[in-house]
Amino acid sequence: MKKYLKNYMWVILFVIFSTGSYFIGFKPGLVIYSNFEEFFIEMISFIPFIFIIIGLFDVWVPKEMLEKHIGRESGVKGIFLVILLAMLQAGPLYGAFPVAYILSKKGASVRNIFIYLGAFSSMKLPMLGIEIGYLGIKFTILRTLISLPLFICIGFMMEKIVGSEFKVEEVKA
């Protein structure tokens, strides 16, 4: 019982804080709960689709093919493919982590996984379209031309720091 209580302490504190805020009319607490509710509903509606797509990707894409195209020896072609994969996806950043895990499990290089995460965070086509609408095409192109080489450099640096044999371990509950 103590283990479960310790693991869920933050959840318990959040529920107590939210309930207390409701009863005493504490505005910041009500705003926090409202934001939580909005993000929770978004996440619950988005996560099942991510897991279905990830499951299909895991089953349909052979490990050998993925290792060949975005593995350790993939070079510039692998970098291009993970950037393209990241650009064609949509959704919030937490949707990229299950994909990164599957890429890691299937033999993608550490470098390409970090490049994928960086490109996903700032280069998705739907997001670029919105950015062009609000900030203009010059700004979007300039930001992309600055951030893309940075993500590629970060990918190479992370591969050097964590090692090319780095593997993500599954968490056992």
- Domain termination residue (choose one: 10, 26, 60): 60
Q: Range of 108's domain?
A: 62-173
Instruction: Look at residue 154 in the predicted model and tell me its pLDDT.
Output: 95
Instruction: Look at residue 173 in the predicted model and tell me its pLDDT.
Output: 59
- Distance, C-alpha 30 to centroid of its chain: 28
Per cent of the chain over pLDDT 70 is 99
pTM of the model: 0.75
Are 68 and 121 members of one domain?
yes
Q: Residue 72 has what DSSP assignment?
A: T
Q: Which residue has the tokens 């869920």?
A: 8
Are 18 and 70 members of one domain?
no
Neighbour count for residue 109 (Cβ, 10 Å)? 24
Distance CA 163, CA 36 (A): 37
Are 47 and 13 members of one domain?
yes
Average pLDDT of every residue of the chain: 87
Distance CA 123, CA 90 (A): 10
Q: Which residue has the tokens 């593995």?
A: 71
- Domain termination residue (choose one: 14, 42, 60): 60
Residues recorded for the chain:
173
Are 7 and 75 members of one domain?
no
Neighbour count for residue 118 (Cβ, 10 Å)? 23
Output the DSSP codes for 96-109.
HHHHHHHHHHTT--
**Overall number of domains in the chain:** 2
Mean pLDDT of the region 33-46: 86
CB 66 within 8 A of CB 78: no
Are 86 and 159 members of one domain?
yes
Are 96 and 25 members of one domain?
no
pLDDT digits (tens, 9 = 90+) for 98-157: 889 888 888 889 999 999 999 999 999 888 888 999 999 999 999 999 999 999 999 999
Mean pLDDT of the region 48-74: 82
- Domain termination residue (choose one: 20, 41, 60): 60
Are 53 and 99 members of one domain?
no
| Spatial CA neighbour of 87 closest among 147, 60, 127 | 127
Are 38 and 93 members of one domain?
no
Are 48 and 123 members of one domain?
no
Mean pLDDT of the region 67-78: 86
Instruction: Look at residue 45 in the predicted model and tell me its pLDDT.
Output: 82
